Structure 1
């Protein structure tokens, strides 16, 4: 095994999705902890923007890619061309050179191995898997960070995911739904189940210590809304009902004098993946009924964390906004559009605080908010998160050591 001087982080997204940025920041923190002197290259289709954020690392497009901004036809045929040229050893472009120069690969954790609403195949899932398989075929160490698998709704997606599961020596998952699916495929002995790596922010992201010291905004309810049409089709009436329930919860919360609401868009990738649209609708609906509301739009990285840390309680419909709040000791309720929400809260012993986004009771959620808005709850969630943080880091270190020994 040659000396590891350069690590490639694969399947990174756009840093304007603060959850995905947090995953990469946690990866970088883990690398600093175990290999402080290595070079890092981050592979992402959004490499041009990411280069402005991760200034200490180089940022490159993925080995297998459907280039952003290209024609629909080129985005369709480019990935198979990339793959075939790679398989036959005919790649000499910048992306291929950067990929092959890495001595090991870390696979970005997250929740991207799921079937999209598109017909036939889920292109992004296939692209992610293709880059992971290329890393595994290199014979170099490959460490996959905690990943949710599913929901898988198409036979084509199932086939490629089973191929990936077969190739991975260790499958690090983020919860029970993933474990059950992988076990049904015969891979139970490979599974290591952990919470999302951002739970370990207090260990891996140094600024967390300062964010946790943010002054509390007494009586402030934070809400991170989402339009989950990217996962499955939701009609206008479904979204309207969802917003109406959030308004009801907010009105109940603000029936106490001095209480207020702050709305947080977690993702602001304009024109592609933007929570700002649904967030503005919620802000307008709250304003219309007289709820005191502020809109946390366009915040910088540290400012976003700091403002979430200042909330008294929090409702997250994006999983990482829930994690940000809990890492900072804010009692949190999750409204989940995928099983990964339930899995996260279950792993933290908070299962009763996770609800389905299409079927939650605003009265029950309002009662929970009232019950968890106290100092004891803040201390308790901070302790739970820190306990899991050390578990995540220690376990990943053990998996890494085995991975290096095996390569």
Structure 2
């Protein structure tokens, strides 16, 4: 049996790496002995495998390759957009002729999904669009491998993920077409279900599911307290931050986080800035803004300033007594270890999943972050985390069971 897992990201994004790791484990659990390949955003010439599974590259990676000049990337997007559109709309012989025009990496993915017995689009938050041309091209290239698979009669499963927003009618029509023809569509929060319904996907074709990050439990490999130089009795409070807002608002967010760190450290606890994402792809490296935040602090927080393997990073959250988390998979990593979290929301996945767990009151929108607002939620948790943990202990076991349901759905799809 041949299975292709599409839309993988980069392993320096620890959350997406965890989702890919869990997805591959679930695929292999559903179909022992299957031949599995990954198509994603890592260059196969540089990263030929992930956890022993071969990487074939992707159309998306080829058109977005940051190592080539911008004019060349634009030409790639235009040409592959035209060829891709021809391959999914023209009659069979003409469509096959169009596919033969694809460059090698793009053709590898196109051939793989067309010849597969099953295509699985891994979990995440990438099926979305913004207004304008950039939004149109993003959603087209995300969905193109699925369109090619569906044209070849290959079943497609969307592992648990977020969907939307889709501001344009043409985007909603394309998403609706793809999802209606998919074997299974799993949404990880109610907002995403609503987005799919607005795209014309029937309610009985959308399943509420659980983010696969809740099923990520790697073995501990690093003594983080020794690595950070802190004693066994020192309380650690984790902080994750990211670049997201316009410059003035971003600076305000970072300075308010710094003021909150000062409040944390005034209690005798140690704050540690943790880079959940440390890739230069799209300039999305948390260490850049976390260095600025550390510079704004009155007292020096601990700073993890190196690239950390996604499996090792999970162990650092295990050591914390509290997390103030912007990157939502840092929140998930912490919650699965029983660590109370105040979540800073930048996309609807944050509020949706926290509400599922009964923790919606511990969410602050990123544009509304202030020291006073964060500290009003964090200080009680430092003093007495028991009420929070009671809510978490009641909700989490059932959530974890649902996080392991994908193998069953994959077998049903085939």
Q: Do Structure 1 and Structure 2 share a fold, with TM-score over 0.5? A: yes
1:145-178 deviation per Cα after TM superposition (whole angstroms, max 9, x unaligned): 1121112223332232222233234321111111
Q: Distance in 2 between matches of 1:390 and 1:55?
A: 24
Q: Judge conservation of contact 1:262–1:296 (CA < 8 Å) in 2.
A: no
CA-CA distance at 1:284 after TM superposition: 1.4
The aligned residue for residue 372 of structure 2 is: 363
Q: Give, in angstroms, the shift of residue 83 of structure 1.
A: 4.5
Comparing 289-298 with 107-116, which one deviates more in the overlay? 289-298
Which of 73, 76, 81 lines up with 1:74 in the alignment? 76
Check if 1:314 corresponds to 2:323: yes
Distance in 1 of aligned mates of 2:163 and 2:270? 37
CA-CA distance at 1:14 after TM superposition: 1.3
Tell me how far apart the structure 1 counterparts of residues 261 and 45 of structure 2 sit (CA, whole Å).
35
Provide the C-alpha distance between the structure 1 equivalents of 2:47 and 2:337, rounded to a whole number of angstroms: 27
**Residue number among 210, 217, 222 corresponding to 1:195 in the alignment:** 210
Task: Compare 6-15 and 276-285 and name the one that shifted more.
Answer: 276-285
Shift of the alpha carbon at 1:107?
0.8
Local SS of the residue matching 1:115: coil
Aligned partners of 1:348, 1:330: CA distance in 2, in Å?
A: 14
Distance verdict in 2 for CA 1:379–1:305, change over 3 Å: farther
Question: Offset at 1:358?
Answer: 0.6
* Farther off after superposition, 59-68 or 301-310: 59-68
For residues 109 and 327 of structure 1, the distance between their equivalents in structure 2, rounded to whole angstroms, comes to 18
Which residue in 2 is equivalent to 1:38? 34
Q: Are 1:242 and 2:253 matched, yes or no?
A: yes
1:385 is aligned to 2:396: yes
| Structure-2 residue corresponding to 1:231 | none
Alpha-carbon spacing, 1:296–1:322, altered in 2? closer, same or farther (3 Å): farther
2:363 pairs with 1:354: yes
Distance 1:83 1:184 in 2: 24
1:89 aligned to 96, 100, 105, which one?
96
Match of residue 228 from structure 2 = none
Give runs of aligned pairs for residues 254-273 of structure 1, distance below 5 A.
Answer: 254-257=265-268, 259-272=269-282, 273=284
Q: How big is the shift at 1:76?
A: 2.7
SS at match of 2:96: coil
TM-score of the aligned structures, taking structure 1 as reference length = 0.86
Separation of aligned partners in 2, 1:7 and 1:381 = 36
| Aligned with 1:11 (options 7, 11, 23) | 7
Considering only aligned residues, what root-mean-square deviation do their CA atoms show, in Å? 2.7
**C-alpha displacement at 1:22, in angstroms?**
0.9
Tell me which residue corresponds to 1:114: 128
Q: TM-score, normalised by structure 2?
A: 0.84
Deviation digits for residues 250-303 of structure 1 (CA, Å, limit 9, x no counterpart): 12111112x1111112112215222222121112112xx124332343222332
What is the rounded CA distance, in whole Å, between the counterparts of 1:379 and 1:50 in structure 2?
46
Taking structure 1 as reference, are residues 67 and 85 closer, same or farther at Cα in structure 2, changes over 3 Å only? Answer: farther
Measure how far apart 1:25 and its partner are: 0.2
Q: Does 1:280 align with 2:291?
A: yes
Q: Tell me by how many angstroms 1:382 deviates.
A: 6.1
